[in-house]
Chain A
Amino acid sequence: MRRRFDTATVIVAVPFLAFVGLFLFVPTIGLAIKAFTPGGSFGFSAMQRALEGTYRTAFINSLALAATSAILGGVIGLLLALSLRSLRRPKWLRSTTDSWSAVAAQLGGIPLAFAFIAAIGTQGIITKLLNQIGFDITDSGFSLSEFWGLVVVYLYFQIPLMFLVMMPAVGGLKNTWSEAASIMGASSGRYWRSVALPLLVPSFLGGLLLLFVNSFAAYATAYVLNPGAQLVPLQIRFLLQGNVITGEQDLAYAIVLWTISLLLASLLLIAILQRRTAKWASA
């Protein structure tokens, strides 16, 4: 069967596709080829080494960081959306949170890291304040450059991002559903379990993916807080800047290819999960 394409659409689609091809596909494919041809001939050695030793640790750390901050951010973001849904009274709170979330979700990077250093870094004002009342953050083992420190900082953009993703779904829960459930004899717990939560799951999964990718790829914040951290993005930097013996670029290509594959796999996984949990929404 031949498909007829609209001429005008083709005319504007071609530059766009060329653009994506040139700046996204060409570098990605070039990189993939190099990852599989370490030292100029075909082989899996680079791909294999990219999952060994410190690089393996880096992948595990990055995965753990991304998953932890995605799940925590996801749950808190969802709770925030739910608490605001039933909140009537301070009217400004709802619209302020909406606007603020749109802003904060984009506030990753360098400035955010600085803000947390000023607050709970070793010289931070909150650190000092807590010290005054007898609580020593550093003694408790907390540090902005360690795992939980990064999680706390990442949550700053993860929570608002999840809030933005969940708000339409949470706002779409109709009051009649809970009333219908209640008149049928369902407790409010039963309503949430059988109706409301299943309806929120697809959006929540989508949000989790967004948060996961967001924190797996986050570079600037981690770079400021701990440039030497064993995280994939920072390891890529080391390799790229030639801080290792020459010929290690192949390793960088392999690590990046694994990263891309991992993110692609999570995208597909979420897409499948979404389809399964949202069969009621598809035609």
Chain B
Amino acid sequence: MSGIRKEFGSTVALSDFTLEIESGELVCLLGPSGCGKTTALRILAGFEKADSGTVTVGGEDITFVPTPKRQFGMVFQEYSLFPNMTGRENVEFALKLRKAGSAERKDTIDRLLEVTGLTQHADKYPHQMSGGQRQRVALARALASNPRVLLLDEPLSALDAKVRDSLREEIRRVQREIGVTTLFVTHDQHEALAIADRVGVMSHGRLEQIDPPRALYEQPDSAFVAGFVGTVNRIPAQADGDRWRVLNRSVPGTPTVPGATLAAIRPEQIAVDVDAAGDDTVREVVFLGPLTRLTVDHGGTTLIADLLTSEFGGAATGDRVRVRLRDDVDEIVLIEG
């Protein structure tokens, strides 16, 4: 997709939006609601017409190709299975539309039902299935027609946490297995970071940054991305030659905007030592299983630190501590002035 612009009335949903997905790649569009990610997906699907710009798939310009002729597959947020058809019939409907013969249909259905682990529930009607089963059927149905592109519109957001995690893994596995080019839209950063080859962060109709999950997390291009992906502490840093002084250490840093002096420090980059003579005070201790999250008052600003529970010295609310940058942090990102 390139140079897409879309307005609804006076609101600009997308402006100069360009996204390129490699063949077989899984790209996530991540952003708060109203950022334009769903609009981008719907334009790609052909449900909405872009005001300007072009949509190309495999070198073919499909900007004006109607949805049914695009040969895409899509999984919606919820309630997209046809309630008057069983799981199997839903999948079969997609195959019939592609004019597959009955023998081929049966083979494909059986294979897809097995891949998605649905063989036992295939003859139930959607209202008899759990949310997770429905989304599996929806996935099988979307893949049935051997789509050029698979579109996933918040497919996990209506499910409960446990099902969400397992289905997420499964989508990833099936997507790799089949090798289908995929666009996944979500507002859930954990989901995006866990599943995608590359994650595109959107805000106000623009693509702020698109990078592999780890790069996105460690080298955010902007304050928005730093704040939206993961938790971040904003700590003032002093220029120290070509290095930057943050907390107790001086490290190399990259400003994202000219004149930026606020360092974006992740909670796990902070270490907390119990020290009765320390200047900082523990405000809150939350046990998160493998991690323990401390909220610490550091000279008037509140910092969040995630410590490995196994390494945590055992401070309590009100204890005096000393906050420092972990020794293994060798580079920081500076955001904002």
Please give, as numbers and ranges, the residues of chain A lying within 8 Å of B72 by CB-CB distance: 183
Q: What distance in Å separates the Cβ of B334 from its nearest Cβ neighbour in chain A?
A: 44
Which of B67, B77, B79, B128 lies in contact with A283, CB distance below 8 A?
B128
Which B66-93 residues have a C-beta within 8 angstroms of A?
Answer: 67-74, 76-77, 79-86, 93
Contact partner of A281 (CB less than 8 A), chosen from B46, B69, B83, B93, is B83
Residues of A within 8 A of B71 (CB): 185
Q: CB < 8 Å: which of B45, B79, B128 contacts A183?
A: B45
Which of A177, A187, A194, A279 makes the CB contact (< 8 A) with B80?
Answer: A177
Docked pose: A199 CA to B141 CA in angstroms: 19
Q: Which of A177, A183, A187, A281 contacts B82 (CB 8 A)?
A: A177
List of B residues within 8 angstroms of A4 by Cβ: none
A195 touches B84 (CB 8 A): yes
| C-alpha spacing A241/B193, complex, angstroms | 84
Chain B residues positioned under 8 Å from A283 (CB to CB): 128
> A-side binding surface: helix, strand, loop or mixed?
helix
Closest to A195 in B: B82
Q: Are A183 and B83 in contact (CB under 8 A)?
A: no
| Interface 0/1 of B112-152, CB less than 8 Å to A | 00000000000001111000000000000100010000010
Docked Cα-Cα span, A125 to B38, in Å, equals 56
- B47 interface hit (Cβ, 8 Å): yes
How far is A186 from B93 in the complex, measured between Cα atoms in Å? Answer: 9
Give bound CA distance, A194 to B93, whole Å. Answer: 9
Chain A residues with CB below 8 A from B76, complex form: 176, 179-180
Check B94 for interface membership: any CB of A closer than 8 A: yes
B67 touches A281 (CB 8 A): no
Size class of the A contact interface (CB-based, 8 Å): 20 to 34
- B68 & A182 in contact (Cβ 8 Å cutoff): yes
What is the distance, in angstroms, from B183's C-beta to the closest C-beta of chain A? 13
Q: Which of the residues A177, A185, A280 comes within 8 Å of B127, measured between beta carbons? A: A280
The reply to whether the CB of B161 lies closer than 8 angstroms to some CB of chain A is: no
A176 B69 Cβ-Cβ under 8 A: no
A198 within 8 A of B: yes
Bound Cα distance from A181 to B73, whole angstroms: 10
- A280 near B68 with CB under 8 A, answer no
Supposing A176-B76, A176-B80, A177-B82 touch, asked if A183 and B70 sit within 8 A by C-beta, the answer is: yes
Beta-carbon contact of B80 and A190 below 8 Å? no
Does A3 touch B at the CB level, under 8 Å? no
Q: Which of these, A174, A182, A186, A199, contacts B79 with CB under 8 Å?
A: A174
Give the nearest-CB partner of B69 in chain A.
A185
Question: Which residues in window 230-283 of A have CB below 8 A to B?
Answer: 279-281, 283
**Complex contacts, B111 vs chain A, CB 8 Å:** none
| Chain A residues closer than 8 Å to B77, beta-carbon distance | 176
Residues in chain B near residue A179, CB distance under 8 A? 45, 47, 67, 74, 76, 80
**Chain B, range 10-59, C-beta contacts under 8 Å to A:** 45-47
Chain B residues near A186 (CB, 8 Å)? 68, 93, 97
Q: Which residues of B contact A190 (CB under 8 A)?
A: 97
Specify which chain A residues have a CB less than 8 angstroms from the CB of B94 in the assembled complex.
184-185
Q: Are B98 and A185 in contact (CB under 8 A)?
A: yes
B68 and A183 form a contact (CB under 8 A): yes
Chain B residues whose C-beta falls within 8 Å of the C-beta of A198 in the assembled complex: 84
Assuming the A-B contacts A180-B74, A283-B128, are A199 and B68 also in contact, with contact meaning beta carbons closer than 8 angstroms in the complex?
no
Q: Mark A166-194, 1 if CB is under 8 A from B, else 0.
A: 00000000101101111111110010001
Residue of A at shortest CB range from B70? Answer: A183
Nearest neighbor of A198 in chain B, beta-carbon distance: B84
Whether the Cβ atoms of B127 and A281 lie closer than 8 Å is: yes
List of A residues within 8 angstroms of B69 by Cβ: 185
Residue of B73, B93, B141 ringed by the most chain A CB atoms within 10 A: B93
State in angstroms the CA–CA spacing of A184 and B81 once bound together: 12
Q: Mark A94-131, 1 if CB is under 8 A from B, else 0.
A: 00000000000000000000000000000000000000
Nearest B residue to A190 by beta-carbon distance? B97
**Contact in complex: B80, A199 (CB < 8 Å):** no
25 contacting pairs across A/B (C-beta < 8 A):
A174-B80, A176-B79, A177-B79, A177-B82, A179-B67, A179-B76, A179-B80, A182-B46, A182-B67, A183-B45, A183-B67, A183-B68, A183-B72, A183-B73, A183-B74, A183-B151, A184-B68, A184-B73, A184-B93, A184-B94, A185-B69, A187-B68, A194-B93, A280-B86, A281-B125
Residue numbers of B with Cβ under 8 A of A are 45-47, 67-74, 76-77, 79-86, 93-94, 97-98, 125-128, 141, 145, 151
The 9 A-B residue pairs whose C-beta atoms are closest, nearest first, are A185-B97, A176-B80, A182-B67, A180-B80, A280-B125, A184-B94, A198-B84, A280-B84, A183-B74
